[in-house]
Structures are given as structure tokens and as C-alpha cells.
Structure 1
């Protein structure tokens, strides 16, 4: 089985280096173009289904990639971005000034360092993996699955699936807008996955 974890296109808050979290910020013009480019990049992959975050930036990206193909879309709340707590809407500079130690650990890819009063990458990754696992467990013939969501949560999910340790987690690339981590299933057990492409 093939699993494509695709981040949404650019928003104005991405451009401004603001922490978005679950704030429902739409794609900007660059993000809309990126979504169309992603659609062309993945046009030859026959996805059996798409799991999609309900936030507009992810939903609109998924709509572009799916296009007119007969791919079922399943909107799932548990695919939303890492909850940003007190950081949502602030620029990274503002966050760094107010919470320097937590921000440093978060930028260093500490899975247990996350937004104040928000969610850690470890928790977000577990949430996303659980949602995907539960959905796949009741499917009989899914060979290729598209998941459209958010950078932090999808990166953490990919790391959990591929068995990254806390020490090796920083080696996993952050996802650029409209880029994906691609995994393949190594065996019959959902928990055995191999990361085959990063940030493509």
C-alpha cells in the first residue's frame, strides 16, 4: 500500500511566518497555484480515496489534486493541524520573544515541545495515525491513499509510522507547502511502514 501525506498550499499566514494551528486561513494566490502544480505532479497516481482535514486550506488543496477524478473524499476532524494554543496568529518572532526556551525546543524538533496551551507534535502525530488506522482497518481494497492535511501533524505522523526515534526525528524533513512524505507498507500489519520519499 502507498500512503501520500500531502501538506496544503501556501496561505497569507504561511507567507507572514505566523503560527496557524487550527485557525481556518484560506489559500492565497500562490497556494492556489501550488495546489494545481501538485495536482499535475500526482495526476498519474490512481488514489483509491482521499482523507482530508476540514480546514479550508487543506480541503481546497485536496479538491485541486482530486480534480474531476472519481476519488472519494472523506473529511476527518482528526486530520486538523496541531492545536496552536496561545501561539495561534502570532509570528514566529513574537513566539520566540515570549517563550524563548519552548520555541527553541520546538524548532529543534523536540516531539514533546509544542505551543503553550496547545498540542505537542507527538500528540498530534498519534491523533493523525489513529484516525488513518481506524479508517483503513475497515477498508478491504485500498492500495493507494492520499491524505491532505498540515505540515506539523503530518510530519509527526510520518515519523510515528516509519519508526523514527526521538533522536532521529529531527532528520525527517519539514514539509514545504504542497509537498508530501510518501510511505509504503512493508507488510500486512498497518504499523510497518517505510518512508520512501521526503518532502517531494
Structure 2
């Protein structure tokens, strides 16, 4: 069960596969030029809100895949420039994107809903229930790692599993590089989107 504590979430910037609407999964596709610019802009938004009185980020925990780690590095550097504080940045293998098996590199399809429901798993892919369990474990570790809030930098599939754990409709696509502030509230979690 996901701990009822607030946290920040940031999906990585765009890759060439995102631009082509292909399922990436664990394939380590780097940010493209647009994704690099998105990561910089998102990092500046995170730093601005952190500096301007939002609940401060105390640490950054990222997926080890390069598209997420590069985005996390931009966030760390922007916060350091804005505040003079260099936050610890670590990776957690449990935040790696879901393995989509034979669907990696293929166009996104209509199989997401049956996959989330546990009715279908592509050949060689990870079950949604397993993804959710490991991602919740990773976020709980980040939440329990000390005072202050974590910024989780990861992937779209990872966030689908967190949406499920927070009682939200899971199959909602998260835009690239849009910072979110998530807070537990009764009866549901609230999600604040930080855009320009």
C-alpha cells in the first residue's frame, strides 16, 4: 500500500520514440533535443515552486534509465542554482519503466486497458500488478528516507501504476516533463500540475 504522504513526480522529457508514439519500456532511449529542452524547463518550474514556498524537495530519486536520470540531473542542478542547495540524487531500480516485452518499439496500442486489468500481458512483458507492487515499494522507500519530500523522476508506465495505487483511473497518459505535486486527501489524492 502506498504511504499517505505527499511527494513530487516528474516524468522524463521527450525521446524520439515518444515523438513517434512507440512503446519504450525498458529500452534505454535517450532524450531528444525537445526532451532536453523540456527537462530544463521542468527543472526550472520545480526550482521556482520549491524556492517560492511550496513544500521543499529534500531528495531526488530517479529511474536509472538515461531519459529519466538526465531529467533528474536537470532538476537537481536547477534547484541548486535557485537555492544554493545541492540535493542528493539517487537511482532506484524499482523505478525503471515497465518491461513491455514484444511491444517495445511497437506503436502504442489498445492493449493497455486489458494489461492494467490483468487480462492480457504481452509476451515477455511484466504484469501490471507486479509493476505496481515494485513501484509502490520504491516510492515508499523514498518517502521513508528522511525529512522532507522526495521528487520521483521516472516514466509514464510507472505513473500509471502510482495512479492505480492512489485510487485514480490508471490508464491516463502523463505528458513529458510536467512536474506534479501529489498530496493525500480524503477521500482521494489531489494532484497539482505545475506548468508555465
Place the TM-score, normalised by the shorter chain, in its bin: 0.7 to 0.9
User: Do 1:79 and 1:131's aligned partners in 2 also have CA atoms closer than 8 Å?
Assistant: yes
Given the two structures, how large is their TM-score scaled by the length of structure 1? 0.78
Of residues 127, 149, 162, the one that matches 1:144 is: 149
User: What is the CA RMSD across the aligned residues, in angstroms?
Assistant: 2.5
What's 1:52 paired with?
62
2:191 matches 1:196: yes
2:99 matches 1:83: yes
What's 2:71 paired with?
61
What's 1:176 paired with?
175
What secondary structure does 1:158 align onto?
A: helix
What's 1:11 paired with?
15
- 2:9 and 2:74 map into 1 onto residues whose CA distance is 15
1:113-166 deviation per Cα after TM superposition (whole angstroms, max 9, x unaligned):
4433201333212211111213433x341x221000000112211330x224xx
- 1:16 and 1:108 map into 2 onto residues whose CA distance is 23
Of residues 40, 46, 49, the one that matches 2:44 is: 40
Segment drifting more, 113-122 vs 24-33: 113-122
User: Do 2:7 and 2:143's aligned partners in 1 also have CA atoms closer than 8 Å?
Assistant: no
Unaligned runs of 5+ in 1: 93-102
Q: Hey, which bits of structure 1, 4+ residues long, moved more than 6 A?
A: none
- 2:193 and 2:126 map into 1 onto residues whose CA distance is 24
Describe the shift of the 1:19–1:73 C-alpha distance in structure 2 as closer, same or farther (beyond 3 A).
same
Describe the shift of the 1:37–1:115 C-alpha distance in structure 2 as closer, same or farther (beyond 3 A).
farther
- 1:34 and 1:117 map into 2 onto residues whose CA distance is 32
User: Do 1:126 and 1:157's aligned partners in 2 also have CA atoms closer than 8 Å?
Assistant: no
What secondary structure does 2:57 align onto?
A: coil
Instruction: Give the count of matched residue pairs.
Output: 178
- 1:183 and 1:114 map into 2 onto residues whose CA distance is 29
Map 1:124-135 → 2, pairs under 5 A: 124-135=131-142
Unaligned runs of 5+ in 2: 51-55
